Structure 1
Amino acid sequence: MDGKRLQQVLLNLVSNAAKFTRDGVVTLSVNARQEGEFCVLHVAVADTGIGIDLAQKPDIFDAFQQIQAEGGSTGLGLFISQRILMAMGGSLEVSSAAGQGTTFSFELSVPIIDGGGAAATAQPGQPARAALAPVAAIATPGDAALDELAELALHGRLTDIEGWINRHTDHTAHALFTAQLLDRLEQFDFAGIHQLALRSKRVASSAPH
């Protein structure tokens, strides 16, 4: 299990719950049960916010992404969280009702560490951090926007980065830059996003006009 990625999933779910709960409560609960040499963690993030009627929505994640898009977000957070959990052997589940709130939950099976506290090893199949690809000759947003992106990445502000993509990128003109950015966002590689923003700015500044 990758602790850093799990932390980012939890931050995303709590942030998502807070976004839909202007007046109410957001609760994070963690329960554990032992199964042989493994411990099964059940994690749930529940809110008492606006909720959504899922009765007519076969794709529940698409339904939430549409609501987020209407509110100015790309809705990528849930999709990314699901992919990370699946890479760790889990799956994100959701229950919701209009006006009654929403609960996102998942289970992960992790090995029990003995009293020696042996360090956990990396799990096979986890995606490796992508190398920073060249940005020369790639169209990017302006310097001020790149400075903003670098600052958001420095503080790990996933939801705000989603909003930045909506405001500052053009799917045609900035297609290559956006693809690099989304690749790092999918991995919660905020350090890589920060480097991408700063390097893009340097390349743009040195390019002939």
Structure 2
Amino acid sequence: MTTAAFSPWILGLTGGIGSGKSAAAERFVELGVHLVDADQAARWVVEPGRPALASIVERFGAGVLQGDGQLDRAALRQLIFADPEQRRWLEALLHPLIGQEIFSYLAKAESPYAVYVSPLLIESGQYRKTQRVLVIDVPQALQVQRTLQRDGTSPEQVQAILAAQATREERLQHADDVLVNDRDVPWLHEQIDQLHHFYLTLRGGQP
């Protein structure tokens, strides 16, 4: 059987930091759905030997490299969160490259639909390349609490990340489906399972 004529539609999955989008993504994978994570793709494009890494080092200096030549993400994050202009430069470099990686990978999907997970789906404009958007939503106080517990970061860093991401209102404006993830993981899985069965009935992402 060939898959030449087979074209899965793409579900964009997003949510703010601490919303539980990673747990939602894992459930889609368990259900056999082809998935790519923007954070994974962001790692692929800055691997040693890739042109993007050379450009980053040229711009920020060797201090953004670890001893083994890999990108030191924490060092780079500090530099760009302190300077919006530097963050914009980095995004302009990486977003098109990440997009190429992602959509070439999604095109190979063999499930009826494929999931593209990105915390910056709305901000990067890449929601336009998806046929449907699922937002994992959570009250901001819970977002902050979960992120502090998980990452051990400072409240100031969490607020800086929240400020750089789209507001809940912006995300919800673009949502076809919204899942309010304010309960436990088994409940989240149950909701994803229901959405999955619904998505399997769709052609091209729309009823």
TM-score by length of 1: 0.28
Bigger Cα Rg: 1
TM-score normalised by L of structure 2: 0.28
Of structures 1 and 2, the one with the larger relative CO (CA 8 A, separation 6+) is 2
